[in-house]
Structure 1
Amino acid sequence: MSETPTVAVFRPDDERVADAVALLEECGADPVPDPMLAVEPTEATPRTDADYVVFTSKTGAELVSEVGWEQSGETVCAIGPATADALRTEGYAVDIVPEEFTSSGLVATLQNEVDGARVEVARSDHGSPVLLEGLEDAGAYVHETILYRLVRPEGSGRSAELAAAGDLDAACFTSSLTVEHFLEAAAERGVRADALAGIADATVGVIGAPTAETAESRGIDVDVVAAEATFETLARETLETVRRAHE
């Protein structure tokens, strides 16, 4: 490894990947932006008869604003601070943010108060079943509205080729889907086996336990599970691990 570690980042190709690149550069890394997620809006609107409405992403917050969803007394829940900030930016009040910024964390926060309540979950088509099942087990009547679909962008896979060539020091996976799309892109470019071998020699950081489980199940060993489910924590902890490994 050179003094400047090469780190792949898979955030969507908008301000999120730009912010991730800026953060990695600030931390002394050489970022490899390789967006693995693109958003296809469905133009659906959350139901208006719910007692609770749950949002799980900044993208969802922006899309419901675009389609004109209006708050009307529901208890609005955001899975984490980034989602909450996005909702507030769009003019919505946020009532609940769990201490643990995950589906299971939100279930734990709500489970003692949603028995018999109508809960609307507004999110992407790749949301974790943990949220729906956990709320249903708590006695809620749960409805899911798909606000957008997540697809793999054309041309993705530069990071897979770098991994295959042994030129990647680290990778920061921010969802199970980024893991799956990384491997799909590697296969599309004919380097899947070599990319798996190369990433085995790199430091792999993930943003939470579900992403870790997906990576491990696909043959990718995980070195870092971020202590907090934010990209900044993931990036900093992954880089710390890279540098310790090369001391």
Structure 2
Amino acid sequence: MSDVGQLLRTWRDERRLSQLDLSGRAGVSARHLSFVETGRSRPTREMILRLAEQLDVPLRSRNELLLAGGFAPAYSESDLGGPPLAEILTGLRQVLAGHGPNPAVLVDRHWTMIDANPAVTRFTEDCAPELLEPPVNVLRLALHPDGLAPRTGNLAEWRTHLLHRLDRQIAATADPVLRDLRAELGGYPGGEIAGGPLGVVIPFRYAGLSFFTMTSVLGTPRDVTLAELAIEAFLPADAATAAALGG
């Protein structure tokens, strides 16, 4: 089985699709797809990208598929501090600032905090200093016993939500760093709950305040780095929280 064929097979298995399912979606014969996966047929660049699109493969992994097939990457991967992303990052920081007085953070694919608005200090002021030394991992900060966990009023519920969200991200990306993070976070105390959530959203109850969260991503990224950025925004879930934040 060729390297690219093996990778395509792995992604197809991750998505729980048969060869017949994927071939129908991609508009190729199941026989040809089988030949690609076993290395009997070398896929073209266009075929790799078509299959990756149908498999909803992240941009980073699409580049890996292309390299395994002997082709150049299709998507750039820019440095966050470099000129190509400067204007986009300026815009994202404007979003963070405009979200005040409500907290908001900018994170990468591994939940590393890239930036945050001043309101986030409401969450971090009582955390252990070592958890706030860059690079800060937002999920570790949220669930660590020396982080936000002791002041989280619904820790088991919030912890369950975050771990399930991380599980879905791992399923979507197959990222080994996230798997290691999941194993670490799973060892922290705090419990988990079974069954569906109550109410219309799962709140984040912290130090007597209540928030709901919203995740924002770029709509049409063509750069791997940009595709992996997200803004996590916290908004008041009740009038008392809005008043406390000065909103």
- State the TM-score, normalized to the length of structure 1: 0.26
Larger Rg: 2
- State the TM-score, normalized to the length of structure 2: 0.26
More strand by share: 1
More helix by share: 2
